[in-house]
Structure 1
Amino acid sequence: MIRLSKDARREQLLEAALGVLRERGADGLTLVSLAEAAGVSRPIVYDHFGTRAGLLLALYRQLDEHHRAALATALEAAEPTVEVTARVMSTAYFACVTDIPEAGALSAALKGNPETEAAQNALDAEYTAMIARALAPYSSLSLATLELRCIGLLGAAEALASELTRGRTTVAAASDALAGLIVGDLTRR
């Protein structure tokens, strides 16, 4: 076995966890299945994540960080208009859905455990605040009201993502619908 630094080993384990998630779904992702997939001993996995809930949350955090970084980069490069900002947001959202379609199952697996659900809710609140800040220049709403609207828009995005993963729509159609909802909500009087 190659000896890796703690950070490198954690990255390797999270990469393997994503593979297990893709192959077996969230229910199949356990500390034991991860140890087997990564080719490491169980104590190594337990040392990094402690519990299955800790593993699921670590993977969710990594996916969230990746998505937010991609969105931030795209927003920085985008033309500063409400239409372009809405398009960038919707494109980034559905890129995450298509890149990691198992993220919905991972999110659902975090529900029901107070510790993981609270951490997931905090990450979701940070994401909501991020998109509200990006949309604030195009809205006369208070930031608190805009964040509430963004929560509603994310609910719509999740519903569209569900349609996409069921094969009932395309990425382009889902992205168009979400961008239209964002622009429509901000531009209506």
Structure 2
Amino acid sequence: MSIQSVCVFCGSRMGARPDYLEGARALGAELARRGFTLVYGGTSVGLMGAMADAVLAGGGKVVGVLPHVLGDREIAHRGLTELHMVDSMHARKAMMASRADAFIAMPGGVGTFEELFEITTWAQLGIHHKPIGLLNVADFYGPLLALMRRAVDEGFIPETRAQPFACEASPAALLDVLQKAGQPLAPDKQLLRPDQT
């Protein structure tokens, strides 16, 4: 799969550890080094803003997508290559997904989790076939991987979908894996109508 743009979901706060800020800056620098366009939520705050700044500092391109309601709070990043203002969170996620060739989740809160799980569900349903990765800074996603394993053990997720995303602690290693990935998930035919298969 040829990757030219990467959508990153991450925190609008810095988090409690310096590692998170370092990870955001390192990912931004690596995206710029590889010539990948960053697609993200368009804010100037938290890990989101730090990552965007690192891409721009490295000479890279950044596409931000921000709902008007958040732009009104004056958190829009005004230095981006492109900033798209949209009407809703749903429109934001749809545009981000359409502009990206791959997805990465960094540490973050409920919004980051929601974005990660929605894009993973879309892959499971065959809505897209783009690779998904976790940048597992300071083992932030260790408990999530354990929860996925628990859901498999309890019969809620098939064994074949136990880990539907790549997981690496290093931005370079994660991007290497995503570049080599083909389709991350085949459509789960049990979840689709016959006319969708």
Q: Flag whether TM exceeds 0.5 (same fold).
A: no
Larger Rg: 1
Task: Pick the structure with more helix per residue.
Answer: 1
Task: Pick the structure with more strand per residue.
Answer: 2
- TM-score normalised to the size of structure 1? 0.30
